[in-house]
Structure 1
Amino acid sequence: MKKINVITLGCSKNTVDSEHLMAQLAAAGYTLTHDSDRTDAKIVVINTCGFIGDAKQESIDMILRAAAAKQAGKIERLFVVGCLSQRYAEELRAELPEVDEFFGVNDWDDIVRVLQGTPDPALATERQLTTPKHYAYLKIGEGCNWKCGYCAIPLIRGSHVSVPMETLLEEAEKLAARGVRELIVIAQDTTYYGLDLYGRRRLAELLEALCRIDGIRWIRLHYAYPTAFPDDVIEVMAREPKICKYLDIPFQHISDNQLKAMQRRHTKADAYALIAKLRKAIPDLALRTTLLVGYPGETEADFEELLEFVRTVRFDRLGVFPYSEEEGTYSAQNLTDDVPEAVKQERVDRIMALQQKISLENNRRRIGSTVQVIIDSKQGDYYVGRSQYDSPEVDQEILIRPDNKRLIRGCFYRVRIKEAEDYDLYGELLTK
């Protein structure tokens, strides 16, 4: 009963929540494992996602499997936490009596207490990493103030709340001391950082302070909302060598009709202007975006604008999702989900076919170039690494034949790109 399996579903923000929880439970005397089916742990905690339909279904399926394991006597206690539990606790309690208790997104101390631990504020910056030891996510804020028409995050997580800068720097210092070399800065909107605590955006100052931490080699920025993007962040990204020339900006759409319907706070012209400004200041910037198709009212003309956006901007990394109605959101309450599912999927496929072509062309242009690569793993005959232009788990990889050399995970090497595929590169080792 002193071993707990913590299963984390959903986004990297959930990953950070689980890692903080695991540190508290370890202090209470538990042994922790994570995301493991092969464990003798008698207690299971599932950290769920409740964002979109597929993610919710994945969480429900995992809960059902764990509930069946409890009925079979393989586990003895089962707890469900996180976004799905926050949104649907009452419904889940009625349907899943096998679950001992459900907790929301702000109930971490309650979980510790139920498991006979005492929440310790002194452990607020402690984590048990579930990522490889050389990179970690740094969550700088919770919740969101934008209230886009399709998004349930403000309903689940509430308004934006920044983590105090001194807390983040202490946490980052501890991560660096443990061997973390790459920090991935995350929040629902990283550019909003500081407005609630300090009355102004302070992301640029935070990034500069993180750059001064010994041991940290790369700092990567995710989830930057395009509206009112801070100029000082662009300046610090261009100036600081530790900050990866990489930026994740979820534009969602480009048609002004769709942007207005989505209750986004920028226009088509704003999006193109921001991209031009970023690329002028940081010529080698790798841009990642997320797009949403099939939103209520999306016409073929709107979609053609989106295709042209992808064709013109030539994003380095791109993901696209079909719209799914989320109860409680503006679009669910005020708009009709009028785009057929088959049309949504066809639009997803058309964008991804275009992006596949762009990605291959972009990759072929990198043949012959030399890049610094961090090694993540070894798979078969290849070491698997990434450049500063690639984020772990979501982006492409660089595959390296070792030629009888042993490469060390978490270390950096110089690699020349030799071959290119749609979403992978092949390289040869030059020198450490």
Structure 2
Amino acid sequence: MKFYLISLGCPKNLTNSEEFSARLLAKGHEMVFTPEEADEIIINTCGFIDSAVQEAKGEIRWALAQKKAGVVKKVAVTGCLVERFKETVAKEFPEIDTLFSISAQETVEETLTKQGVILEPLSKSLYLPEYKMSLTAPHTAYLKVADGCNNRCAYCTIPFIRGAYRSKPMEDILREAELMTQNGVKEISLIAQDTTSYGTDLYGKPQLVELLEKLLNINGLGRLRIMYGYPHRVTKELARLMAGTDKIFHYLDIPLQHIADPVLKRMNRHCNAAQIRATLDMLKTEVPDISLRTNFIVGFPQETEKDFNELQHFVQEYEFDNMGVFEYFREQGTAAYDMEQIPQEIKAERSAALVETQSRVIDRINKRLLGTTLEAIADGPDFGRTYKDAPDIDGKVTFTKPVETGRIFKARVVAAEGYERELEPLAD
């Protein structure tokens, strides 16, 4: 069977695509890169927010049109959309040949031989995948250390989709990282819904620092990158570990969502503004060159002008290197769904204003970056990223001269405008 894969959504979903695709390849099936070459289209969907749902449905319609036109024989759909909406997707798209849940991905070859809806309960444990391939560049890879979430934020559908927080056993993560390193991966990004809770379910307390210490002992390890930390669970111990090694990029993705206490409380975030500020101040003290990425939601129910102004001032003050801004969208089944909503035009105005505020922040950061030396990684001969930029999420940089793809090196910033920066590679 020749299959054409469409993988939507976040890096955590991408790792699922990598795992079940590798299982198919190991059994003699072939991945192709145009639908015209394929027997079957497989779509791994996202269903986190409405825009992702609509994107997934658009891809399903396109795939079914390919089937109707005789380009492919079958269409299979899996992922978060299926997990969230289950049988309703089958009712909306009865032409789908195989509609299967996330757990059914673990037996993907057998699953794809079946017709109809295959729903299996989420596994209570995470295990080392038997096979794994990379759908990213060969030198960079995501390593999922946990799945699911227990935080129950008022706006979020993840607990309904991915279930309770489940950590992968430490020895399995180490084996996976060793295999990645042996296969030429230079940058391993650790991902979960909340990496800072890693191990709580297995070992009785968070074990991210202990995991990192063991990963640092892997022979030939390139760099580690930490994604998706929860603010008040980022510890001084973690910061000092990062500061003490060049094997962990001095980068941290901490989705903060807001800074005004009334909004944080309604969001059911388990931290307040004082804790957030204390965490950020600690990180900047312990790791002076720390690069911070975050996300904010504007227009959350009952967000006042005062709340939003506090958020704007906070963004100006803390100068995040990378930042996502999202207008709150009402998701059925979440606690915030029945709260008093804010008009769409106000959400749009606040989103545009916060993006503009961040643009001015980037201008200030760029002035300080000019002439400085940063560690970078080459994604191609003439482009790549600095340690400040996560793959597929943050910005890219260009180089003044060719660099071997996958190389990690020092470079001088010679030009910077917005998120576009040019680096001059330096001699080793």
Q: Which interval holds the TM-score relative to the shorter structure?
A: over 0.9
Question: Which residue of structure 2 lines up, in the alignment, with residue 202 of structure 1?
Answer: 207
**TM-superposed deviation, 1:105:** 2.0
1:407 Cα deviation (Å)?
A: 2.2
Give the match for residue 73 of structure 1: 70
1:255 corresponds in structure 2 to 260
Whether 1:191 aligns to 2:196 is yes
**8 Å Cα contact 1:294-1:323 kept in structure 2:** yes
Quote the offset at 1:110 in angstroms. Answer: 4.1
Q: Which amino acid aligns with 2:286?
A: A
**Structure 2: how far apart are the matches of 1:125 and 1:292?**
38
Q: Using the alignment, how far apart are the partners of 2:148 and 2:425 within structure 1?
A: 42
User: Which residue of structure 2 lines up, in the alignment, with residue 306 of structure 1?
Assistant: 311
Q: Is the 8 A contact 1:364 1:419 kept in 2?
A: no
Residues 13-40 of structure 1 show CA distances to partners (whole Å, capped at 9, x for unaligned) of 011001110111112210124xx44541
Which amino acid in the other structure matches residue 418 of structure 2? D
Whole-angstrom distance in 2 between the partners of 1:414 and 1:228: 31
Match of 1:427 in 2: 423
Alignment pair present for 1:48 and 2:45? yes
Q: TM-score, normalised by structure 2?
A: 0.94
Once the two structures are TM-superposed, the CA of residue 370 in structure 1 deviates from its matched residue by: 1.7
In 1, the alpha carbon distance for the partners of 2:252 and 2:98 equals: 39
Give the Cα–Cα distance (whole angstroms) in 2 for the partners of residues 192 and 39 of structure 1. Answer: 44
Q: CA deviation at 1:126?
A: 2.5
Distance change >3 Å, CA 159–CA 95, structure 1 → 2: same
After superposition, what is the alpha-carbon deviation per residue over 1:347-378, rounded to whole angstroms, capped at 9, x for unaligned? 11111111111112102211111222211025
Equivalent residue number for residue 335 of structure 1: 339
Q: Which one-letter code corresponds to 1:390 in the other structure?
A: D
Distance in 2 (alpha carbons) for counterparts of 1:290 and 1:192: 19
Calculate the aligned-residue CA RMSD, in Å: 1.7
**Per-residue Cα deviation, 1:284-303 (whole angstroms, up to 9, x for no partner):** 10111000011110111110
Distance 2:281 2:127 in 1: 45
Q: 2:335 matched to 1:364? A: no
Any unmatched runs of 5+ in structure 2? 115-125
Which residue is equivalent to 1:91?
Answer: 88
Q: Deviations over 1:184-232 (max 9, x none)?
A: 0100000000010011111001111111222322110010011333332
Aligned with 1:351 (options 349, 354, 357): 354
Alignment correspondent of 1:387: 386
Given that 1:179 and 1:215 are in contact with CA atoms closer than 8 Å, whether structure 2 keeps it comes out as no
Residues 363 and 320 (structure 1), Cα distance of their counterparts in 2 relative to 1, 3 Å cut:
same
The whole-number CA distance in structure 2 between the counterparts of 1:278 and 1:311 is 17
User: Are the aligned partners of 2:76 and 2:112 in contact in 1 as well (CA < 8 Å)?
Assistant: no
Per the TM alignment, residue 114 of structure 1 is displaced from its structure 2 partner at its CA by 2.6
In the alignment, does 2:117 pair up with 1:114? no
Name the CA shift for 1:123/1:323 in 2 (closer, same or farther; >3 Å).
Answer: closer
Could you tell me whether the CA contact under 8 Å between 1:23 and 1:123 is conserved in 2?
no
Task: Give the TM-score normalised by structure 1.
Answer: 0.93
Letter in 1 for 2:405: R
Query: 2:408 maps to which residue?
Result: 412
In structure 2, relative to structure 1, the CA distance for the partners of 1:205 and 1:39 (3 Å cut) is: farther
> Is the counterpart of residue 218 in structure 1 residue 195 in structure 2?
no
Matches within 5 A, 1:100-179: 100-115=97-112, 124-179=129-184
**Preserved contact between residue 126 and residue 171 of structure 1 (Cα < 8 Å):** no
Give 1:180 shift.
Answer: 0.2
Mapped pair 1:284 → 2:289: yes
Paired residues of 1:180 and 1:215 also in contact (CA < 8 A): no
Partners of 1:182 and 1:359 lie apart in 2 by 25
Please tell me whether the aligned partners of residues 146 and 165 of structure 2 are also in contact (alpha carbons under 8 angstroms).
yes
Distance 2:204 2:324 in 1: 33
Name the CA distance, whole Å, in 1 between partners of 2:348 and 2:214: 44
Q: For residue 242 of structure 1, what is the aligned residue in structure 2?
A: 247
1: CA distance, partners of 2:99 / 2:226: 32
The amino acid across from 2:357 in the alignment is: L
Distance 1:227 1:122, change over 3 A: closer
CA contact (8 A) 1:138 1:185 kept: yes
Aligned residue for 1:292, secondary structure, equals strand
Q: Is the 8 A contact 2:26 2:131 kept in 1?
A: no
Counterparts of 1:252 and 1:414 in 2: how far apart (Å)?
33
Kept in 1, the 8 Å contact 2:298–2:308? The answer is: yes
Partner AA of 1:343 in structure 2: I
Which letter maps to 2:358? Q
Q: Distance in 1 between matches of 2:255 and 2:106?
A: 32
Alpha-carbon contact 2:105-2:111 (below 8 Å) kept: no
2:18 aligned partner: 19
Question: Structure 2: how far apart are the matches of 1:174 and 1:228?
Answer: 29
1:16 counterpart letter in structure 2: T
Tell me, yes or no, if structure 1 residue 57 matches structure 2 residue 61. no
Amino acid in structure 2 at the alignment position of 1:360: D
Cα deviation for residue 111 of structure 1 reads: 2.7
Q: Which amino acid aligns with 1:362?
A: I
Deviation at 1:53, TM superposition (A): 1.3
- The aligned length equals 417
Question: Using the alignment, how far apart are the partners of 1:308 and 1:207 within structure 2?
Answer: 34
What percentage of residue pairs aligned between the two structures are identical? 39
3-state SS of 2:189 partner: strand
Residue segments in structure 1 that go unaligned for 5+ positions in a row: none
Query: Compared with structure 1, are the counterparts of its residues 125 and 225 closer, same or farther at alpha carbon in structure 2 (3 Å cutoff)?
Result: farther
Contact 1:218 1:388 in 2 (8 A): no
